[in-house]
Structures are given as structure tokens and as C-alpha cells.
């Protein structure tokens, strides 16, 4: 079978979220023995300059294509009209207007429907239009969590029989050069050096209002004033929608001890997670929530929001809080810092929980969906 994959997200020079998903999925896919009997075409936007960093076997080839605008609906759509593969996989939400009958699309979450106030109106309409078209047109839809699958049924009327839930994987830190306990080389970056002598709490993800950063800052204020903790709060990740409100709150309310790092690379991420006394992720909504698993892998206790997919993904390895209640976020965080045995029990449960997730498993289940073994 000839399988086409929109792989352009994997070639981004700085990968986050969906880009990392596509990269890790391809990396695992090329190693699957089951993939050897198929031909794969990886479609790539020529404007993306990044590289995969791993070699491709002979049955995988990259096809670079160029379009100055709307690459998916112009150049990729034209390719599908002229040279359709047997199956097309779109791991990034948007199915081109021309596509094979056997097309599969992955949906990573419907945040813009659940939290419309955190999206510009025009962008929200675009996401809704493309998601509805993609999920209705595709033969099969991959949802990255049961929660996202339920949202697709409830909000878009997609038949449950059309949806396959395939969780993301997790790259084990044991396979990386960093070893827990070796220190935090990331702290050499500007603005983080002072953390070398002070403990810190960590948020990792896009720094934006839909992730409840404003609520997290309010909880941090309570932790400093009421519980008098010595910690700093590290916000690690790209700035996103509402970042100006976040900066304004920090400045106007004079919240001391907040450090914003900007983008965090793979090499920097693991030691940063390792050094945190707690990982705080009280997001309003997540399609999957990969940073929770990454924190658990680094034996860092987690406080997470109790909504959407987060209990599904975190298992027993987290304390769950209402994202709308900063007092509760602060209280549960303080318990981790002070309650005997709680941190160890969360770490143990987290290490057990991550055994459920691997990119090999994700790739195998995805290939089965693409080749029709799970097709209805």
C-alpha cells in the first residue's frame, strides 16, 4: 500500500505540541517491522528548513512541495488530485479539499469550542470549519484521548464507530543523554541562574490564558503570602494568546519570583523537569496533556486540572484540582511540598502510569488504522 503523510510539521526547527507528535510518530514508524511492506511518501512544505535527524529506509521518501500560501489547500490538494496515494494520513487537523477515499485525520483537541473566549473570532471560525470538514470527509478519525473522542461525538456528531482513540507516546528519558541528578545545565540560560540556589515550581507548555496561567499566578501568590514558600515559579514555553495579560498581571500585582524562559528545547526540557519540586498543570482543557507524562517520567509530582483528558492521562500519579480555584491549587501544591510520603506516592504512581504510553505503541496502532486492519 502507498501511504501519504503530511509530515511537514515534523520538519519544524523548534517543535512543540503537534509538531513533536508528528516527529515522534514518524521516528517510531520507520522502525516498525510491519511498515516495511508499505511505501510511504512524506509530504513536506519546502519552506520548512528543519531536518528529521534520523535516517529513512528505502520505502520512505520525502516529497518537497512549495506554495506561498495555504500549502495544505493549494499544493498538497493539487498533489492529491494528480497523484493520490492509497491512503492519506493528516496528523495535523486539516484535510486537503482533494483527498483519497481512504483518508485518516488526527484531532488533538477542540479547545476552541470548549474555551472560545481564548481564541480570536476569525481563527476560531477557521478551526471549526476545517475540523468539521476534515472529520466528516475522512474515512477514519484518530482522537488522541477518549475525552477528545467524546467531544467529537458531542460537538460535531461524528459517529463513535468512525473514531479510533490512539494515545500519544512518551520518549523515555533513559534514552537521552541527560541523567537525573547530574544538575541543571539549562539554568545557565539568562534569567534562570538564580534558581541554582532556590527551589522552584514548574509549568511547561504554551504560556497563554487558556492554559490558566492567570489562575496559576494567583495560586502562586497564595503560596508565597499564606504558606510562605521560598520557591520561584518557572513558566517554560512559547508565549501564546493572552500573553500580554499575563505580563500585565505579573507587573501590576508585583508578583516576585516568576521566571519566563521562552521556548525550551528537548535537551533543556528534561533537566528542567527533573529539578522542579512540583509540576503545576491546572489547565482548563487539554486534548492530551503530554507534559504531565514527561513530568512523571522525571519523578516530579504533578498537580493537574480535573477536567477534559487529564485524569485519563495522568492516572493515579497526580493531585487533581479545580482550575477555577487558586486556593485549591495552592493547597494541593503545598501538600506536595510538606506532607510526609505524598511526593513519594505520587512519583511511584506516575512511574507506573507512564508504562501505558509509548511511541512504538502509538505508531503500531496508527499503522493498523491506516492500512485498514481497524477500518470498519
Contact 175, 138 (CB under 8 A): no
User: Are residues 30 and 93 located together in one domain of the fold?
Assistant: yes
pLDDT, mean of residues 333-355 = 96
User: Are residues 241 and 339 located together in one domain of the fold?
Assistant: yes
Q: Tell me the torsion sign for CA atoms 354, 208, 190, 199.
A: negative
226 pLDDT higher than 60: yes
Q: How confident is the model at residue 123 (pLDDT cuts 50, 70, 90)?
A: very high
Q: How much is the pLDDT for 376?
A: 37
Q: Is 88 helix (H, G, I), strand (E, B) or coil?
A: strand
The domain that holds 177 is classified in CATH as 3.40.50.2000
Report how far apart, in Å, the C-alpha atoms of 282 and of each of 7, 49, 55, 100, 217 are. Answer: 31, 34, 38, 40, 11
Nearest in space to 266 (alpha carbons), one of 344, 346, 183, 171: 171
User: Are residues 182 and 262 located together in one domain of the fold?
Assistant: yes
Q: Which helix (H) or strand (E) holds 10?
A: none
373 pLDDT higher than 90: no
User: Are residues 26 and 91 located together in one domain of the fold?
Assistant: yes
Q: How confident is the model at residue 193 (pLDDT cuts 50, 70, 90)?
A: low
Contact 274, 258 (CB under 8 A): no
Here the cell at position 177 is: 543523554
Q: How much is the pLDDT for 282?
A: 97
Here the cell at position 325 is: 480555584
pLDDT, mean of residues 123-136 = 94
132 pLDDT higher than 90: yes
Q: How much is the pLDDT for 149?
A: 97
Q: How confident is the model at residue 375 (pLDDT cuts 50, 70, 90)?
A: very low
Number of domains present in the structure of the chain: 2
Which residues form the domain of 151?
A: 2-169+358-371
- Distance (Å, rounded) from C-alpha 264 to C-alpha 192? 12
User: Are residues 157 and 181 located together in one domain of the fold?
Assistant: no
pLDDT, mean of residues 136-146 = 96
- Distance (Å, rounded) from C-alpha 340 to C-alpha 173? 27
User: Are residues 119 and 141 located together in one domain of the fold?
Assistant: yes
pTM above 0.85? yes
User: Are residues 233 and 151 located together in one domain of the fold?
Assistant: no
User: Are residues 164 and 21 located together in one domain of the fold?
Assistant: yes
User: Are residues 73 and 185 located together in one domain of the fold?
Assistant: no
Q: How much is the pLDDT for 145?
A: 97
User: Are residues 134 and 265 located together in one domain of the fold?
Assistant: no
Count other C-beta atoms under 10 Å from residue 211's C-beta.
Answer: 29
User: Are residues 331 and 363 located together in one domain of the fold?
Assistant: no
376 domain-assigned: no
Q: pLDDT tens digits for 270-305?
A: 888 988 999 999 999 999 999 999 999 999 999 999
User: Are residues 344 and 213 located together in one domain of the fold?
Assistant: yes
Amino acid at each position: 500500500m502507498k501511504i501519504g503523510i503530511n509530515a511537514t510539521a515534523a520538519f519544524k526547527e523548534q517543535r512543540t505540541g503537534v509538531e513533536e507528535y508528528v516527529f515522534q510518530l514518524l521516528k517510531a514508524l520507520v522502525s516498525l517491522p510491519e511498515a516495511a511492506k508499505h511505501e510511504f511518501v512524506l509530504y513536506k512544505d519546502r519552506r520548512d528548513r528543519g531536518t528529521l535527524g534520523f535516517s529513512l529506509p528505502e520505502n520512505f521518501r520525502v516529497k518537497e512541495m512549495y506554495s506561498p500560501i495555504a500549502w495544505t489547500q493549494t499544493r498538497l490538494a493539487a498533489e492529491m488530485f494528480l497523484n493520490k496515494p492509497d491512503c492519506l494520513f493528516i496528523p495535523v487537523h486539516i484535510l486537503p479539499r482533494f483527498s483519497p477515499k481512504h483518508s485518516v485525520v488526527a484531532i488533538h483537541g477542540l479547545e476552541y469550542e470548549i474555551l472560545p473566549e481564548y481564541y480570536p473570532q476569525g481563527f476560531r471560525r477557521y478551526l471549526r470549519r476545517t475540523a468539521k470538514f476534515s472529520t466528516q470527509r475522512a474515512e477514519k478519525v484518530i482522537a488522541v484521548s477518549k475525552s477528545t473522542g467524546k467531544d467529537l461525538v458531542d460537538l460535531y456528531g461524528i459517529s463513535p464507530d468512525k473514531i479510533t482513540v490512539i494515545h500519544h507516546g512518551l520518549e523515555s528519558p533513559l534514552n537521552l543523554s541527560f541523567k537525573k541528578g547530574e544538575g541543571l545545565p539549562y539554568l545557565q540560560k539568562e534569567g534562570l541562574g538564580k534558581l541554582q540556589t532556590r527551589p522552584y515550581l514548574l509549568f511547561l507548555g504554551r504560556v497563554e490564558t487558556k492554559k490558566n496561567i492567570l489562575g496559576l499566578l494567583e495560586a502562586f501568590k497564595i503560596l508565597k503570602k499564606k504558606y510562605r514558600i521560598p520557591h520561584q515559579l518557572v513558566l517554560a514555553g512559547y508565549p501564546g494568546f493572552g500573553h500580554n495579560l499575563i505580563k500585565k498581571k505579573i507587573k501590576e500585582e508585583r508578583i516576585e519570583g516568576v521566571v519566563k524562559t521562552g521556548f525550551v528545547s528537548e535537551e533543556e526540557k528534561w533537566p528542567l523537569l527533573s529539578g522542579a519540586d512540583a509540576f503545576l498543570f491546572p489547565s482548563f482543557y487539554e486534548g492530551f496533556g503530554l507534559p504531565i507524562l514527561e513530568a512523571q517520567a522525571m519523578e516530579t509530582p504533578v498537580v493537574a486540572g480535573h477536567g477534559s483528558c487529564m485524569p485519563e492521562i495522568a492516572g493515579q500519579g497526580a493531585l487533581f484540582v479545580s482550575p477555577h480555584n487558586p486556593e485549591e491549587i495552592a493547597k494541593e501544591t503545598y501538600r506536595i511540598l510538606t506532607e510526609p510520603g505524598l511526593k513519594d506516592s505520587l512519583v511511584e504512581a506516575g512511574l507506573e502510569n507512564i508504562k501505558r504510553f509509548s511511541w512504538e505503541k502509538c505508531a503500531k496502532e496508527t499503522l493498523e488504522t491506516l492500512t485498514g486492519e481497524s477500518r470498519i
